[in-house]
């Protein structure tokens, strides 16, 4: 039995210890925000935060989150919509939506550490996330303007 907090709630799962966190989140806990893009930690679509740090949940065995705080994109809007979510909407930073939850989680982690990132800092923080639709310009615009309230 693995016990952890997910989006502020205590949870436990009887999943096998080496089950991927991504599968436990999606199939057992029904948090479908994290997506499986590649299953190899290359695309970032499955990004969640574990104890505040962005990680690719397809690479994490659920046993490694014992006692940790896990946040999915569903938890990002609690209790109100996060500034980066609003900025993504205002700047048209999402298209097909597959990569968006991962980008939001990576961006939120950056903005918690640095509320006024430069474009280069935003690009570096988002480098583990791939998008096939947007060309990244609008995503970077949204991130650098989110906390600055220029969104």
pTM: 0.93
Indicate whether 147 pLDDT > 80: no
> Domain boundary at 50, 75, 100, which?
75
- Three-class HEC string of the chain: CEEEEECCEEEEECCCCCCEHHHHHHHHCCCCCCCCCCCCCCCCCCEEEECCEEEEHHHCEHHHHCCCEEECHHHHCCCCCCHHHHHHHHHCCCCCCCCHHHHHHHHHHHHHHCCCCCHHHHHHHCCCCCCCCCCCHHHHHHHHHHCCCCC
Do both 8 and 70 map to the same domain?
Answer: yes
Mark which of 19, 51, 75 sits at the end of a domain: 75
Q: Which of 25, 52, 75 is the last residue of a domain?
A: 75
Same domain, residue pair 70 and 88: no
| Same domain (yes/no): 105, 124 | yes
Same domain for 105 and 54? no
**pLDDT tens-digit readout, 76-97:** 988 888 999 999 999 999 888 8
pLDDT in tens, 20-73: 999 999 999 999 999 999 999 999 999 999 999 999 999 999 999 999 999 999
């Amino acid at each position: 039995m693995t016990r952890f907090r997910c989006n502020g709630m205590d949870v436990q799962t009887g999943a096998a210890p080496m089950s991927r966190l991504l599968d436990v989140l999606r199939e057992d806990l029904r948090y479908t925000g994290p997506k499986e893009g590649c299953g190899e930690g290359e695309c970032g679509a499955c990004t969640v935060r574990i104890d505040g740090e962005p990680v690719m949940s397809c690479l994490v065995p659920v046993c490694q989150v014992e006692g940790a705080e896990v946040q999915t994109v569903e938890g990002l809007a609690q209790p109100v919509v996060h500034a980066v979510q609003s900025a993504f909407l205002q700047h048209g930073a999402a298209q097909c939506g597959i990569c968006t939850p991962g980008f939001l989680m990576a961006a939120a982690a950056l903005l918690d550490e640095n509320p006024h990132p430069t474009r280069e800092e935003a690009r570096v923080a988002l480098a583990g996330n791939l998008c096939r639709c947007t060309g990244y310009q609008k995503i970077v615009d949204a991130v650098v303007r989110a906390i600055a309230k220029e969104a």
